[in-house]
Chains A and B, each alone.
Chain A
Amino acid sequence: MAISKINTSSLTDNSVTAGKIVAGAVDADIAAGSIDTAQLANDAVTADKLANAINTTIAAKATNTAVALKAPIASPSFTAKATISIASANGDILDFRSNGSDVGTIGTLGGATYFGSEDSGIMFNGVNQNPTSGGSTRVDNTNDLGAASYRYKNIYLGGGAFIGGTGTANKLDDYETGSWTPVYQGAGGTSGGAYGAQEGTYTKIGQLVHLQAYVNATNKGTLAGSLKIGGFPFTVNPTNQSAGAIGYQIGYNLGSGHNLALWAYSGDFAYLYQAGGSSNSAGLTTGDCDNAIITAFSITYHTNQ
């Protein structure tokens, strides 16, 4: 016959040893408070004994009572997204600590999310990412992006970079390199012509364009009117006239003591001039050069964009 009750007053200390309790002898009907936790030795209840013992009822408790996790959690994983919520509109949501010291924070301010270390961070504020002092305080002209020994590799910009100021005059919105084809032209018309070389490269930095060219015409063809070199990759801004530098020339018949010069002030070309001594600059025509012409030059100018 099964024993339903034991009069515990008849039991002396240590009269019931663990060996007398068979498996299943103690079922789940242990009254609340019947086990004095003070009597539980350290490590008396091992983790494997608690498997499945804590079920979702902890969620109900957590809504009312802060749950302090005393034991370290090794690599927790979630089968769905984890949510950490605070009751206020602004403030830190999650603090990170190392050896008792704060090392980082994730929080929110006015709907923006920020995260960072104790010294610097970033706030995702609408479509902007603002630098912070680590928490919710945004800072201006304080944080660096990268460092001398810790550089980012590349940066891709669809717009521009404001350097040294925030005005439109501080905005660098374009950088480009490429090639172009220099060609001799007559202001009154161009036809025929044959070339041994037409080498042109350009570098554009913002509105500033720098050209380098070597153009060798073995037969200049018909060049009516004022002589010019055209084919520039970008048009010249008329409000920023520029002079070029001739490095090498063959086939020009200039006046004594005169030098070849380039002057660009509109369109995609520069006019050829000669100047020297006390003479005023004078434009060249096809009559001032041989049938074969070589010109190597560079010129820097502003374009319209």
Chain B
Amino acid sequence: MALTKVITQDKIEIVGEFKHVQVRTCTKVLEDGVELSSGFFRHVINAGDDYSAESAEVQAICSAVHTSAVVTAWAAHVAASSPE
């Protein structure tokens, strides 16, 4: 009987005009390869966020979609919509 924990980023989505990157991390506990349990953890990377701690795959996606234009647009949106 061997218990293993497998963590994967099983879903990476680019959402909305500001190219939010939604990442779903799946954690599975397996016994001899058969799933005993699993759970999801999610987080979002906004344009302009520091994504240096993300996985290489997420970094590549953020680098591709979070262009300077998108970063500027998102920052302007946040500034315009922040409470007074």
Contact = CB atoms under 8 A, between A and B. Distances in A.
Given A187-B78, A202-B42, A234 B83 contact: no
Contacts of A281: 83
27 contacts: A177-B40, A178-B40, A178-B41, A179-B39, A179-B41, A179-B42, A225-B82, A226-B83, A231-B44, A232-B44, A233-B42, A233-B43, A234-B44, A235-B20, A235-B44, A266-B77, A267-B44, A267-B46, A267-B74, A267-B78, A268-B20, A268-B44, A283-B84, A284-B83, A304-B15, A304-B20, A305-B13
Chain A residues touching B, majority SS: strand
B24 interface: yes
Contacts of B16: 235, 304
Interface of B: 13, 15-16, 18, 20, 22, 24, 39-44, 46, 74, 77-79, 81-84
A235 B82 contact: no
A271 B83 contact: yes
Interface residues of A, number: 29
B83 A233 contact: no
A176 interface: yes
A180 B15 contact: no
B12 to A, nearest CB: 13
Interface in A178-212: 178-181, 187, 202
A179 B20 contact: no
Nearest to A186: B82
A181 B43 contact: yes
